[in-house]
Amino acid sequence: MARIVGGLATSHIPAIGGAIAKGLQKEPYWKPFFDGFDPAREWLARERPDAVVVFYNDHGLNFFLDKMPTFAVGAAPEYRNDDEGWGIPTLPPFKGIPELSWAVIDHLVAKDFDIVTCQEMLVDHAFTVPLKLFWPDDDAPPAVPVCINTVQFPLPSAKRCWAMGKAVGEAIAAWDEDMKVVTIGSGGLSHQLEGQRAGFINKPFDLEFLRSMVDDPEWATQFSILELVEKTGTQGVELLNWLAARAASPGRMRRVCQNYHIPISNTAAATLVLEAA
């Protein structure tokens, strides 16, 4: 049987992709952020996962405001990146694992989740940046993209995202393949890019959320979407991706490493690696 051996999470700011492309990882501005990935990569080198499920939000490359699904799952043999206008390089296609994708899709539908199934799918920086951060040598395992709307209201509740992530974990556990899987939650933490609160960061909330990922993973589900926007900023609700990734492994998990750095491009940038306890 397939099993989830760990959960990863990181910020996905486009400027990170630009820093990687320009080789700026050791520059004083970037070094505190990139240094947080050394223990994460060491852990991945030991575990050698066979597949990765990426919970992320699309920023208009594959879905735009006129057609924004609440949940979408990729079921393609490969996922192509394209120019998003941020000035970051377009990356080669990422390998998919359609058999696992369909197992996830079938289980989600059986659990009454109305999802969009994508047999072709463009993936933006929210998908590509985490894979490049955790696997800088472009040797990431085959991926299943799970896209959550954190962009345009109405947004799914934290409770709904937890339930969806839990169902994805059930599908992986029931998949009849002897494989090791990791999940990735992509985005955040607290930040707001527009309006009167542009530049907003809520460090106390971020640190409490990071703590909860280990000790009380359903903690954030007590808040409504509007409450989460108030506490984290309009873009900080990307923590829904972290929540869904954590829900895929609802049992006890140990913290392997954690890094929190502010600011990177007006964002509270964080990295977290958990392993099955």
> Catalytic annotation on 191?
yes
Catalytic residue among 12, 107, 125, 261: 125
Mind spelling out the 3-state secondary structure of the chain?
Answer: CCEEEEEEEECCCHHHHHHHHHCCCCCCCCHHHHHHHHHHHHHHHHHCCCEEEEEECCCCCCCECCECCCEEEECCCEEECCCCCCCCCCCCCEEECHHHHHHHHHHHHHCCCCCEEECCCECCHHHHHHHHHHCCCCCCCCEEEEEECCCCCCCCCHHHHHHHHHHHHHHHHHCCCCCEEEEEEECCCCCCCCCCCCCCCCHHHHHHHHHHHHHCCCHHHHCCHHHHHHHHCCCHHHHHHHHHHHHCCCCCEEEEEEEEEEEECCEEEEEEEEEEC
Catalytic one of 12, 59, 191, 261: 191
Catalytic (active-site) positions: 125, 191
